[in-house]
Amino acid sequence: MLHVENLTKKLPDGRLLLDRVSLKVSRGEFVGILGASGAGKSLTLRCILGLTKADSGTATLHTEACGGKSYDLLTCKGREQRNCRRRMGVIFQGFNLVKRLRVLDNVMIGRLARIHPLRSWLYGFTDAEAAEALEALRRVKMDMHADRITGSLSGGEMQRVAIARAIFQKPAIYLADEPIAALDPSNSLGIMKLLAPLAQETPVVGVFHQPEMTARFCTRVVAIKAGRVVYDGDPRLSHNQLQDIYGDELMQVLRPAPTTPEPAIAESSRSLPVLANFA
Ligand SMILES: Nc1ncnc2c1ncn2[C@@H]1O[C@H](COP(=O)(O)OP(=O)(O)OP(=O)(O)O)[C@@H](O)[C@H]1O
Ligand SMILES: [Mg+2]
């Protein structure tokens, strides 16, 4: 489905930002990308999307619809590039919604690039398309808010609308960069519960900072450290594996500093919150 091989990105001074990043995403997979801040997670997605030019490597998107067409994501240009971007449903942390528009209009914008500019200017969307957009909103439990102005929604609701917009686009793959970073635990859980069944139909690649969430919902985890893939496998990582990936940052991520002194506990009997979730 998505096959990335030896993706490399360098700074002009030769410093490697991505060092031969490879990953494969197949049908039915929900792949979580983990890694410390600055590891190269977003940059990997940006190169796949053609927003940043990679220096070398390959990235191929094979779509089963449209006669099983394959797109060479790193070299395609012009109309071909626009076509392959339409096959990738993007869900970003900042929601990327137009706040002054109605919720339903924001969902339909997802397909704007697909219809002829003259038709969009003369006629807008058809009733059938509006019904389909409403169905996408129903899927994320936001259909009752279809006529609301998007700017009046909460962050969790906006993220649901952003997912509905990606669903309406009918992509071959979803790429999500920190889709739950701005949300509280309950909304984060809600979004993961939406993404997991979606991935069974259309694969999802998502960047996360919550190993407990990827352990619970993802089918596979890929970890990036200093621009290199250092892990690709079972989403339930051990404490040592997480420590290898995050280094010192692990403690900040998994164990917020206590406000009151903790009672002395033998080091060997300590268990991190994230590991408790694996039980
Ligand atoms: N266009 C660019 N030019 C120069 N450096 C860049 C560019 N894009 C990204 N970088 C650098 O590449 C590294 C990886 O950035 P990236 O945005 O992928 O991090 P990340 O893993 O997504 O981190 P975070 O979890 O904080 O979002 C960072 O050091 C960043 O400053
Ligand atoms: Mg990032």
Question: Does some domain include residue 225?
Answer: no
Angle (deg, nearest 10), helices 155-168 and 127-139: 130
Mean pLDDT (the chain, rounded): 85
Nearest CA to ligand 1 atom 28: 38
Cα–Cα distance measured from residue 109 to residue 83, given in angstroms and rounded to the nearest whole number: 16
Q: Ligand 1 pocket: which residues have CB below 6 Å?
A: 11, 17, 35, 37-43, 52
Q: Which residues pair with 92 in a beta bridge?
A: 177
Ligand 1 probe mutation, 43, 51, 228, most atoms within 8 A of CB? 43
Residues with CB in 5 Å of ion ligand 2: 42
Q: What is the pTM of this model?
A: 0.86
Distances, alpha carbon 97 to alpha carbons 102, 187, 226, 245, 271, in Å: 10, 18, 31, 33, 40
**pLDDT tens track for 69-91:** 888 898 888 888 888 888 899 99
Which of 151-160, 167-176, 193-202, 265-274 shows the lowest mean pLDDT across its residues?
265-274
Pocket test residue of 17, 47, 175, 180 for ligand 1, highest count of atoms within 8 A of CB = 17
Whether residue 239 is contained in a domain is answered as no
- Domain interval for residue 124: 96-170
Q: How far apart are CA 276 and CA 175, in angstroms?
A: 29
Give the pLDDT score at 278. 34
Report the C-alpha gap between 46 and 129 in whole angstroms: 29
Residue with CA closest to ligand 1 atom 12: 17
Q: Per the domain annotation, does 260 fall within a domain?
A: no
Residue 129 inside a domain? The answer is: yes
Ligand approaching nearest to the C-alpha of 38 = 1
Residue 252's pLDDT is what? 61
Confidence of residue 116 (pLDDT cuts 50, 70, 90): low
Structural domains of the chain, count: 1
Q: Over the stretch 224-258, which tens digit does the pLDDT of each residue have?
A: 999 999 999 999 999 999 999 998 656 565 655 45
Going from the Cα of 44 to the center of ligand 1, the distance in angstroms, rounded, reads 9
Task: Let me know if residue 144 belongs to a domain.
Answer: yes
Ligand nearest to the CA of 225: 1
CA of 229 relative to ligand 1 center, distance in Å: 15
Buried-state track 225-248, b at ≥16 Cβ within 10 A, e below 16 = bebbbebeeebbbeeebbbebbee
Residue 115 is predicted with a pLDDT of 53
Q: Which residues pair with 175 in a beta bridge?
A: 90, 205
Starting at the edge strand that comes first in sequence, how are the strands of the sheet with 220-225 ordered? 88-92, 173-177, 204-207, 30-34, 220-225, 228-233
State which ligand 1 atom lies nearest to the alpha carbon of 209: 25
Q: Whose C-alpha lies nearest to ligand 1, atom 22?
A: 42
What is the tens place of the pLDDT at every residue in 127-176?
888 899 999 999 999 999 999 999 999 989 999 999 999 999 999 999 99
pLDDT score of 117 more than 50? yes
Residues 90-106 pLDDT 10s: 998 766 889 999 999 99
- Nearest residue (by CA) to ligand 1, atom 6, is 17
Closest by CA position to 158, among listed 137, 185, 129: 137
In-domain check, residue 107:
yes
Query: Looking at the domain assignment, is residue 154 inside a domain?
Result: yes
State residue 110's pLDDT score.
72
CA 38 to ligand 1 center in whole angstroms: 5
In a domain, 5, yes or no: no
Which ligand 1 atom is nearest residue 45's CA?
Answer: 18
Q: Is 60 exceeded by the pLDDT of residue 184?
A: yes
Residue 201: predicted pLDDT: 95
Please name the residue that has the structure tokens 């998107």. 61
Cα–Cα distance for residue pair 10/81, rounded to 1 Å: 23
More confident call, 66 vs 180: 180
In which region does residue 41 sit, left (phi positive, over 0), alpha (psi from -120 to 50) or beta (all else)?
alpha
